[in-house]
Amino acid sequence: MRFTSCLVAAAFSLACHSSRSPASPTAASDVAAIRRVAVLGDSLAVFPSRDQSFPAQLQARIDREGLGWTVVNAGITGDTTADGVRRMSDVFTAGIEVLIVELGANDGLRGVPATTITDNLSSIVTAAQRRSIRVLLCGMETPPAYGLNYSIAFHFVFPDVAQKLSVPLVPFLLAGIALDPAFTGPDGVHPNAAGAQRIAETVWPYLQPLL
């Protein structure tokens, strides 16, 4: 089983009076003042649609509370933690101050060794910390398709990385929605709109202190 693929890129533009007139100091300072949260994730970050995804729901919550942050959805369906390592530098260049790491589900479905997942997540978190980016790690579980021992080892990857690198952890991203048809789409895995909202509610108490 594999999640299907799609990427959202966040773009920011500065309006000028004409193509030849320089940007005003006020407009330039407004751009510099934009604070960004990036979600480095997989299909769980882009379902059921980009407008209804949990990053979009987090943006709506931020806007309601007037916190002045912009959420950049850097989720790509099908991505693994190795893909996150490959893409992280591009994500960091967007002036990110907070990083939500939502990866690992596809690793579990493919039976990627727990030690490899640990190394990849640690690389992402450490690279972000070196850039003074605050990190929130999202925990995941995996079914026992590769045996109970693998599922147990997979479970402990996330709290172990969070503890070792001193970052907050959402214990289980899909808490309260996994396998529940009220919160998942036709495949029984990906969140529907209600599920995306529930994920945002699960993430929010851990994200808010970082903002």
Residues annotated as catalytic are: 43, 187, 190
Tokens of 115: 């030690």
CB neighbour list of residue 69: distance below 8 Å, 6 or more residues apart: 35, 36, 37, 62, 98, 211
* DSSP states along 107-142: HHHHT--HHHHHHHHHHHHHHHHHTT-EEEEE----
User: CA 26, CA 5: separation in Å to the nearest integer?
Assistant: 39
Cα radius of gyration rounded to whole Å, the chain: 18
Lateral strand order in the sheet of 69-75: 69-75, 35-41, 96-102, 134-138, 169-170
Spatial CA neighbour of 44 closest among 52, 53, 35: 53
| Residue that has been written with the tokens 């330039």 in this structure | 28
User: CA 157, CA 103: separation in Å to the nearest integer?
Assistant: 12
